[in-house]
Chains A and B, each alone.
Chain A
């Protein structure tokens, strides 16, 4: 009897320890949760993709399709993910498994996409770190061309293009002329990548405990820097030119369907939907939390940040265009002055046209020999760039011209680093939480070591991007992994929640969590509007992509038209890799469903019942959050019962 008692007590204390260690982590405060979600949503794309889209799609007019897409697609999906995560309290795989075992593939696809995106996204952060390390020099290394061997001139590649291009393509990436030529590992890049993953691991060690502290800085710092840049940019000459160019609406572009497609895809990727990260974050929330308000706040702040970031970016681009225009005119003036030996500063930008006209009438051959370039401010403004081109080429060029360039460069790259890091949190969380929830981690391995293992594996795989052809591979990953699979996953998420889980059940869950049922707008969006628009966007996107064999811009110094980029087709094996990257996550959904079906049929009904008990119904997780877990409750009941019996 005593032995039995001893056993019961040991079992009870064992259960206590087990429940205490398995207790789900939770956010220290609502602010941390909101900052983390905002940080995940606000990323590099807000700074370098949205302003570019605004520019090429008619400025202010682009805001209309953008905001419409936010309203009918972005916000409903965001609300759905936050609500389902908060209700079912598991990472992405667990949530979809709970809804239906056949839908486990959706979670696995989410996890796989998060892993692949996390790999290449941190490589971009590594590039940002490399530029950050190089910003502590005077003069900035991308401001001048290095000399060639016999010190008679500059390196040819640098002279043909610009010093900024040379620093990016040669000294940073050491890029190969084609994607097939892999080259060797670039050690500077490897070190930067190591640093990037070390910082990510530092923030992830204790899970959301450390993330929650880190986001106070990484989510707020970009806004500080954007404001500083805004104030500075407004005082630069040419800023107003850039801003009027950005915001002048061209209503004709609204008739182009591609504008609507790009607006929809931009809002979708910008909110970081379908990664599983948002589901993971909201699963750490207390049960009764107003997720509707959270979703609307996160969505609106994300869009507002995009618009707010566009202002200083375009002011600075306007300044750069103005500077380039002035340099072009000055160069022409100097050619004329030297050719005709006119006194210095007699020709100015104001009387340049008059002088040119008179000189052309007297000596037209000499003037034509000079090959004067026509300088148009509009041409310089039209030189748009997005993505890494905007940050590492266009912006760095602008920074050189600003007095105190080191300070601006450091600020800019730290801002990009914060944006990238806060998005990395969501990516990695979308990988770690499902693995931890599914208890795939061996018992003896503490969570910290497991996190370190994942970081080391990702670092090893991301070494591809430090090869000489790394930039080409990164573009491939960006275009193929970060696009179609996410659309497919989001579509299945909608169908799963609305039609498999049941919209009425979902409405009741939300009533339980927030205290009110979602209104007719959300109902209409979830049931009809969002799935339809998502399907439309997916089909249109695939059709547009499939229309032509994809090309990529290669940096080839031997190219005839260098410094223009050499447009090359992808070789067949690379194209096969692209298709695999897009298809494999999507195929996981039907594959897992088929696997579960086969399993069910083969094992028969007895095991089916066991499995149904094991795949707990969603409501069993209720209580896993409170201080008294279900196991400890049972323990106390049994102990009291037992002692009274004896």
Chain B
């Protein structure tokens, strides 16, 4: 009797595993293909893909399913993997823990993977590009947009420097002009002093030559 029980158990197990394997086929509608590019991502620090790594993957997926459904029923045995290649790519499907002959629909699996994508990536030291779930588009991270665009800051700096330069040059040019005009006015005033002296001294040669001398000096200093 125990032998018959044992035989039935073995048959059931084999039948279940065969059934489960049937659930996972290449191109299964509720399954996804996974592709890893470990050497591209890690170069010399690449690890070898073996059974333990596969176990880690199944564990991560079970975790993702638990997190998505908020149920503690998912286990490593619910993740069925098939069609492994030397590329390191394979198909997987997720079986319902309540009824192992039923698969979780692809949409739910996609949601679960998307939610925990970051955690799965980090477990394998890979990125969205090197750990690909074909058919599940990654949510791309937006680049940080600062409040003030950096180019505006550079622009403000440059325009302030240029404006300061323009103002400085304009102010110095006008100061120079005012000083020059003041210089000419003062010399004209001195000239008038001498002119007022002319009627007293007489318009003759003395004042004239004094004036002439002064005018000549002025010319030399100006030029």
Tell yes or no: B158 within 8 A of A by CB: yes
Cross-interface CB contact of B162 among A20, A202, A446, cutoff 8 Å = A202
A192→B216 CA distance, assembly (Å): 54
Tell yes or no: A29 within 8 A of B by CB: no
Contacts of B111 in A (CB 8 A): none
Contacts of A194 in B (CB 8 A): 159
Q: Mark A369-403, 1 if CB is under 8 A from B, else 0.
A: 00000000000000000000000000000000000
Tell yes or no: B199 within 8 A of A by CB: yes
Task: Please tell me if the beta carbons of A632 and B166 are within 8 angstroms of each other in the complex.
Answer: no
Cross-interface CB contact of A448 among B37, B153, B162, B170, cutoff 8 Å = B170
Distance to closest chain B CB from A588 (angstroms): 33
Stretch at the interface among B1-9, B51-59, B115-123, B137-145: B137-145
A205→B162 CA distance, assembly (Å): 12
Task: Please tell me if the beta carbons of B154 and A152 are within 8 angstroms of each other in the complex.
Answer: no
Contacts of A199 in B (CB 8 A): 162
Task: Please tell me if the beta carbons of B208 and A337 are within 8 angstroms of each other in the complex.
Answer: no
Tell yes or no: A594 within 8 A of B by CB: no
Tell yes or no: B72 within 8 A of A by CB: no
Tell yes or no: A195 within 8 A of B by CB: yes
Task: Please tell me if the beta carbons of B87 and A344 are within 8 angstroms of each other in the complex.
Answer: yes
Distance to closest chain A CB from B94 (angstroms): 22
Distance to closest chain A CB from B97 (angstroms): 30
Tell yes or no: A343 within 8 A of B by CB: yes
Tell yes or no: A640 within 8 A of B by CB: yes
Task: Please tell me if the beta carbons of A2 and B195 are within 8 angstroms of each other in the complex.
Answer: yes
Q: Is the interface of B mostly helix, strand, loop or mixed?
A: helix
Tell yes or no: A13 within 8 A of B by CB: yes
Q: Mark B160-195, 1 if CB is under 8 A from A, else 0.
A: 001101100110011001000000100110010001
Q: Give chain A interface residues in 494-552, CB to chain B under 8 Å.
A: none
Task: Please tell me if the beta carbons of A643 and B151 are within 8 angstroms of each other in the complex.
Answer: no
A130→B149 CA distance, assembly (Å): 13
* Count of chain B residues near A, Cβ 8 A: 52
Q: Which of chain A's residues has its CB closest to B177's CB?
A: A446
Number of chain A interface residues as a range: 35 or more
Known: A147-B142, A153-B137. 20 other contacts (CB 8 A): A2-B198, A5-B203, A5-B208, A6-B195, A16-B218, A17-B184, A130-B151, A133-B152, A134-B150, A136-B153, A152-B137, A192-B155, A195-B162, A202-B162, A205-B173, A341-B89, A344-B88, A448-B170, A627-B223, A646-B204
Task: Please tell me if the beta carbons of A198 and B151 are within 8 angstroms of each other in the complex.
Answer: no
Tell yes or no: B109 within 8 A of A by CB: no
Cross-interface CB contact of A206 among B155, B173, B219, cutoff 8 Å = B173
Task: Please tell me if the beta carbons of A2 and B199 are within 8 angstroms of each other in the complex.
Answer: yes
A317→B106 CA distance, assembly (Å): 48
Contacts of B216 in A (CB 8 A): 636, 640
Q: Give chain A interface residues in 469-494, CB to chain B under 8 Å.
A: none
A455→B127 CA distance, assembly (Å): 54
Cross-interface CB contact of A198 among B88, B154, B163, B218, cutoff 8 Å = B163
Distance to closest chain A CB from B82 (angstroms): 13
Contacts of B187 in A (CB 8 A): 13
A17→B223 CA distance, assembly (Å): 10
Distance to closest chain B CB from A565 (angstroms): 27
List B residues at the A interface (Cβ < 8 Å): 35, 37-40, 85-89, 137, 139-140, 142-143, 150-155, 158-159, 162-163, 165-166, 169-170, 173-174, 177, 184, 187-188, 191, 195, 198-199, 203-205, 208-209, 211-212, 215-216, 218-219, 222-223
A1→B198 CA distance, assembly (Å): 10
Task: Please tell me if the beta carbons of A341 and B85 are within 8 angstroms of each other in the complex.
Answer: yes
User: Considering the complex of A and B, which 9 residue pairs feature the smallest CB-CB distances, nearest first?
Assistant: A341-B85, A643-B208, A341-B87, A133-B151, A643-B212, A133-B154, A343-B86, A344-B39, A198-B162
A195→B165 CA distance, assembly (Å): 13
Cross-interface CB contact of B169 among A202, A446, A628, cutoff 8 Å = A202
Cross-interface CB contact of B219 among A2, A205, A632, A642, cutoff 8 Å = A632
Task: Please tell me if the beta carbons of B184 and A643 are within 8 angstroms of each other in the complex.
Answer: no
A137→B203 CA distance, assembly (Å): 80
Q: Which of chain A's residues has its CB closest to B152's CB?
A: A133
Task: Please tell me if the beta carbons of A2 and B140 are within 8 angstroms of each other in the complex.
Answer: no
Distance to closest chain A CB from B74 (angstroms): 27
A632→B215 CA distance, assembly (Å): 11
Cross-interface CB contact of B87 among A210, A338, A632, cutoff 8 Å = A338
Contacts of A188 in B (CB 8 A): 151
A606→B151 CA distance, assembly (Å): 65
Q: List 28 A-B contacts (CB under 8 A).
A: A1-B203, A2-B199, A5-B203, A9-B215, A12-B215, A16-B218, A16-B219, A20-B222, A129-B158, A134-B150, A134-B151, A136-B150, A136-B153, A151-B140, A152-B139, A153-B137, A195-B155, A201-B166, A206-B169, A337-B87, A338-B35, A344-B38, A345-B39, A345-B40, A448-B173, A643-B205, A643-B211, A646-B205
A176→B155 CA distance, assembly (Å): 25
Distance to closest chain B CB from A369 (angstroms): 16
Tell yes or no: A27 within 8 A of B by CB: no
Tell yes or no: A639 within 8 A of B by CB: yes
Tell yes or no: A342 within 8 A of B by CB: yes
A205→B170 CA distance, assembly (Å): 7
Contacts of B205 in A (CB 8 A): 643-644, 646
Contacts of B137 in A (CB 8 A): 152-153
Q: Mark A150-173, 1 if CB is under 8 A from B, else 0.
A: 011110000000000000000000
Q: Give chain A interface residues in 595-646, CB to chain B under 8 Å.
A: 627-628, 632, 635-636, 639-640, 642-644, 646
A136→B153 CA distance, assembly (Å): 10
Q: Which of chain B's residues has its CB closest to A345's CB?
A: B39
A342→B219 CA distance, assembly (Å): 96
Cross-interface CB contact of B154 among A136, A338, A640, A642, cutoff 8 Å = A136
Task: Please tell me if the beta carbons of B142 and A151 are within 8 angstroms of each other in the complex.
Answer: yes
Task: Please tell me if the beta carbons of B198 and A13 are within 8 angstroms of each other in the complex.
Answer: no
Contacts of B174 in A (CB 8 A): 446
Task: Please tell me if the beta carbons of A9 and B211 are within 8 angstroms of each other in the complex.
Answer: yes
Q: Which of chain B's residues has its CB closest to A3's CB?
A: B195
Contact A639/B212 with A133-B154, A153-B140 known, Cβ cut-off 8 Å: yes
Q: Give chain A interface residues in 1-47, CB to chain B under 8 Å.
A: 1-2, 5-6, 9-10, 12-13, 16-17, 20
Cross-interface CB contact of B155 among A146, A191, A210, cutoff 8 Å = A191
Distance to closest chain A CB from B143 (angstroms): 7
Contacts of B199 in A (CB 8 A): 2
Tell yes or no: A144 within 8 A of B by CB: yes
Contacts of A137 in B (CB 8 A): 150-151
Task: Please tell me if the beta carbons of A343 and B87 are within 8 angstroms of each other in the complex.
Answer: yes
Contact A341/B86 with A1-B203, A5-B203, A198-B166 known, Cβ cut-off 8 Å: yes
Among A137, A153, A192, max chain B CB count under 10 A is at: A137
Tell yes or no: A132 within 8 A of B by CB: yes
A636→B170 CA distance, assembly (Å): 34
A13→B215 CA distance, assembly (Å): 9
Q: Give chain A interface residues in 34-63, CB to chain B under 8 Å.
A: none
A16→B216 CA distance, assembly (Å): 11
Contacts of A2 in B (CB 8 A): 195, 198-199, 203
Q: Which of chain B's residues has its CB closest to A146's CB?
A: B143
A136→B222 CA distance, assembly (Å): 52
Task: Please tell me if the beta carbons of A9 and B195 are within 8 angstroms of each other in the complex.
Answer: yes
